Amino acid sequence: MEQNLNQNISFSIEKIYIKDVSYEAPGVPLTFTQAQGAAEIGVQLGLEHTTLSAEQGLYEVVLTVTTTAQHETKNIFLVEVKQAGIFRIGGIDGDLLQRTLEISCAYVLLPFVREVVNELVGKGGFPQLLINPINFEALYEQKQAAQPSRASIN
């Protein structure tokens, strides 16, 4: 019986696209002409998902990456990319569906968002910037552990 359940599970990528992009380099061109030490690079992540059609198993997942470079108190650049995808997922629900949306789909989107961030930074005249690998499973587990217990007290 369990084998039949696994055969009904489906996961496919319908579309990958950029939903929003922002690039700012407020100090350019002075940034390029003034001697500076190493910049401090910061990377923040956000993940959202919405149901497009529950009957068809269509979900949109948006991975937001905000990357900043600062030297002392000056912003060198800020890049924000919302990389999105439409995924068709069938045969699962509940916690397993949440895990799939927040882990599996995020892993699919990561290489695309890394490429966009790297290209924008490079086209802005700055050295290559590669975002390190991200453990979405650990992030999901941290998020679940941080949520208050769903059990109610009567």
Looking at the predicted structure, is the pLDDT value of residue 53 above 60?
A: yes
- Is residue 2 pLDDT above 80, yes or no? no
Neighbours of 36 (CB within 10 A): 12
Per domain, the residue ranges of the chain are: 15-24+44-65+79-130
Q: What percent of the chain shows pLDDT beyond 70? A: 91
Residue 47 has pLDDT above 80, yes or no: yes
pLDDT digits (tens, 9 = 90+) for 90-143: 999 999 999 999 999 999 999 999 999 999 999 999 999 999 999 999 999 999
The pLDDT value recorded for residue 23 is: 97
In percent, the amount of the chain with pLDDT more than 90 equals 75
Listed residue (56, 63, 39, 61) closest to 121, CA to CA = 39
Query: What is d(CA 44, CA 64) in angstroms, rounded to the nearest whole number?
Result: 8
Residues 6+ apart with CB under 8 A from 105: 49, 59, 61, 85, 87
Summarised one tens digit per residue, pLDDT across range 30-43 is 888 886 778 899 99
- pLDDT greater than 60 at residue 152: no
pTM value > 0.85: yes
Weakest mean pLDDT among 6-10, 56-60, 61-65, 118-122: 6-10
The CATH homologous superfamily to which domain 15-24+44-65+79-130 belongs is SecB-like (3.10.420.10)
Spatial distance between the Cα atoms of 76 and 71, rounded to a whole number of angstroms: 7
- Whether the pLDDT of residue 150 is over 60: the answer is no
